[in-house]
Amino acid sequence: MANSSAKPLIRRHAEIGIFLIGAVLIVIFASTSDGRWANLYNIGTILQVTATLGLMSLGVAVVIGTGEIDISVGSTFGMGALAYLWLAAQVDPAIAAVAAVLVGAAIGLFNGLLVTRTGTPSLIITLGTLMIFRGIAIALTEGFSFSIPYAARKGWTYFVLGGGDFLGFNTALYWLTTLTVILLAALKATPFGNRLLAVGGSAESAHSRGVRVDRIKLSAFVLCGTLAGFAGTLEAGKLGFADGSMGRLMELQAIASCVLGGCLLAGGRISLPGALMGAFVLSSIQSYLVVTGVRPQWFILVLGLIVVLAAYGDRSLRQWALRK
């Protein structure tokens, strides 16, 4: 009986898989870590990591929604963080944050223009820009890091931009919540969202109905870059320093979050709550490995294994749901 009602629900909501996996992992992690994982301080840390990774994942999800991919977000994130710290030392952090977000948007625009104007697959374009902007970030820092000492990080703008906690949670989490609500509304309830998903579902059909496919894709890339730049800003606001490797490999985590969260890489079907849950699961796994003292050299290996298992579990669930 339960099966017959659960199946259509899982079919319609691809993100259910990741929520179940998340629930299972939370139980396992909480019961096997002697309270080192499941305490308010650690959850707060996980949520701070989820917030910055989640913002990136939202952007990547939007691009995946159009049937493209952006793997340059890790470098965009790093560039956003560097731009913020470099400027925040000289002007008000709010202005620095705007500039950092604009840097992200500009990288997104660059990606989007290359993809739409040349017709080259976004995978290879953004792989290239991933390296280009990582290279620029490394060249800019040249071995030293950008930092603002803790004592200098006073005032509400630092606080709001990831530098403080509100009601026990880093302010980045509130940014994530707000932006998720806005993006969800834009995706589900505006013509822009309708056209964006149409482009991902069938670019040809969308084009034949008068949708300007290239503009939609371009705006998705700009949005993605903007969010990655902002995520970098919040992370830099939290840490107070950044070097050339800031955000490395985060692009892979962001894509993994989206796919685990039920976003179809072929485009047209994405779930923003799913992508966020994916980000939460990845951050939780990392935190668990840290608090249980897994040796750093095994860390990536174990993380990868859990991701593969989670992806397999999700796929099995979906296939089960598709069977009559």
Partner 1 sequence: MENSNPLIQVKNLDLHFGAFHALKNVSVDFHAGEMIGLVGDNGAGKTTLIRVLCGIYAPTSGEVFFDGNKVQKFHPKLAIDQGIETIQQSVGLCDNLSIARNFYLGREPVKRVLGIPFLDMGKMREKSTRVIRQFGLRANVSADDEVERLSGGERQSVKIGRAVEFKNRVVIMDEPTNHLSVREREHVNELAVQLKEQGLLVIYITHDIFQVHKLADRIVIMENGEKVADATTDSMTAEELEEVIRQGGRVVEKREAV
Residue 180 burial (CB < 10 Å; 0-12/13-18/19+)? middle
* Piece of 69-77, 98-106, 125-133, 208-216 that binds partner 1 (CB under 8 A): 208-216
CB 206 within 8 A of CB 213: yes
CA 254 to chain centroid, in Å, comes to: 4
Using rule CB under 8 A, residue 13 touches partner 1: no
Q: Please say whether the beta carbons of 292 and 33 come within 8 A.
A: yes
Sole binder of partner 1 in the list 200, 232, 240, 278 (CB under 8 A): 200
**Does residue 216 belong to the site contacting partner 1 (CB under 8 A)?**
no
CA pair distance 235, 151, nearest whole angstrom: 17
- From 269, 273, 292, 294, residue interacting with partner 1 (rule: CB under 8 A): 269
Number of chain positions touching partner 1 (CB under 8 A): 22
- List CB contacts of 14: < 8 A, sequence separation 6 or more: 262, 263, 264, 269, 271, 274, 318
Part of the chain binding partner 1 (CB under 8 A), chosen from 96-104, 168-176, 199-207, 235-243: 199-207
Applying CB under 8 A, does 262 fall inside the site for partner 1? no
Nearest residue to 238 via CA among 178, 289, 144, 175: 175
Query: Among 205, 298, 300, 301, which residue interacts with partner 1 (rule: CB under 8 A)?
Result: 205
- The SS3 call for residue 13 is coil
Output the CA torsion 159→160→161→162 (10° steps). 70
Decide: is 128 part of the binding site for partner 1 (CB under 8 A). no
136 vs 213, which CB is nearer to partner 1?
Answer: 213
Among 119, 143, 149, 191, binds partner 1 (CB under 8 A): 191
Least gap, CB of 96 to partner 1 (angstroms): 28
Q: Residue 188 in 3-state DSSP?
A: helix
Q: Is 31 a binder of partner 1 (CB under 8 A)?
A: no
User: Judged by CB under 8 A, does residue 180 bind partner 1?
Assistant: no
Stretches 28-36, 127-135, 206-214, 280-288: which one binds partner 1 (CB under 8 A)?
Answer: 206-214
Binder of partner 1 out of 58, 198, 275, 276 (CB under 8 A): 198
Q: Is 207 in the site for partner 1 (CB under 8 A)?
A: yes
Q: Which of 225, 268, 274, 278 binds partner 1 (CB under 8 A)?
A: 268
What's the closest the beta carbon of residue 304 comes to partner 1, in angstroms? Answer: 30
For residue 210 the two structure tokens come to: 């008068």
Instruction: Identify the residue among 5, 204, 296, 319 touching partner 1 (CB under 8 A).
Output: 204
Letter string b/e over residues 220-245, b meaning 16 or more CB atoms within 10 A of that residue's CB? bbbbbbbbbbbbbbbbbbbbbebbbe
Give the number of other CB atoms < 10 A from CB of residue 147.
Answer: 15
Q: Residue 61 Cβ, how far from partner 1 at the closest point, in Å?
A: 14
Which residues of this protein are in contact with partner 1, per CB under 8 A? 185, 189-191, 194-195, 197-198, 200-202, 204-212, 268-269
